[in-house]
Amino acid sequence: NAGVMQNPRHLVRRRGQEARLRCSPMKGHSHVYWYRQLPEEGLKFMVYLQKENIIDESGMPKERFSAEFPKEGPSILRIQQVVRGDSAAYFCASSPATGRFVTEAFFGQGTRLTVV
Amino acid sequence: AQSVAQPEDQVNVAEGNPLTVKCTYSVSGNPYLFWYVQYPNRGLQFLLKYITGDNLVKGSYGFEAEFNKSQTSFHLKKPSALVSDSALYFCAVRDGPAGNKLTFGGGTRVLVKP
């Protein structure tokens, strides 16, 4: 059972370009979370999605950032018109739909975005 | 709103000595608590979790954590640290079952010296 897969591992974009980060959750997982980690800082929650639904986007910047988790295919975190301050590691995590049971989330290796 | 505090940015310990990484939390409901470890340029690896039951939770790589409701703490411990334990450790809390986001502390860097 493959873990959470993120690609690309490293992404370089010029200011003003678009960045697309992909996350394939673990098999059988229907909950996806995106986190951002700035250098030497902790993880900041961005968005929580289930298939075709955004459940909590309280951590998403109001502009330029969007996320989706379509019925088929990976979850996508999209950053339009990137700026230098968007340079960070972006981590995706997934967990199964277990109702009232509490499980840990499993993390991918992250995508390191560098804006030049 | 839920929050987690890790009061120490860095913990230094000699190999073979006990290791403690501190974590306190704040939630409105029942706390579900987690510890993760991050090695350089890697993702987070799950170490252990507290859901209910015994206050002492045992996890991976010889780590354990003690849940203390009155002090709202969930400190990570290892009786005898290894150099390979040097990494960034994150405490996280979720105030409900699956479907609620994990909120992370700022992380504590552990340096184990030979």
Digit-coded pLDDT (tens) for B58-101:
999 999 999 999 999 999 999 999 999 999 999 999 866 555 67
Compute the mean pLDDT over every residue in chain A, rounded to the nearest whole number: 91
- Of the listed ranges A36-50, A76-90, B11-25, B66-80, the one predicted with least confidence: A36-50
- What kind and span of H or E run contains B56? strand B56-58
Instruction: For strands A10-13 and B10-14, give the pairing.
Output: unpaired
Dmax (CA) of chain B: 42
Per-residue b or e along A85-112, where b marks 16 or more CB atoms closer than 10 Å to that residue's CB = ebbbbbbbbbbbeeeeebbbbbbbbbbb
Residue of B nearest to A49 (CA): B99
Q: What is the Cα–Cα distance from A29 to B82, expressed in whole angstroms?
A: 34
Position B45 scores a pLDDT of 92
Task: Indicate yes or no: CB of B43 within 8 angstroms of CB of A100.
Answer: no
How is residue A66 written in tokens? Answer: 């969007």
Q: Which candidate in B32, B50, B101 is best for mutational testing of the A interface (most A CBs within 10 A)?
A: B101
Closest CA to B67 of B35, B96, B99, B44: B35
Mean pLDDT for A82-86 is 96
Beta bridge partners of B44: B38
How many contacts (CB atoms, under 8 Å) link A and B? 62
Mean pLDDT for A50-71 is 93
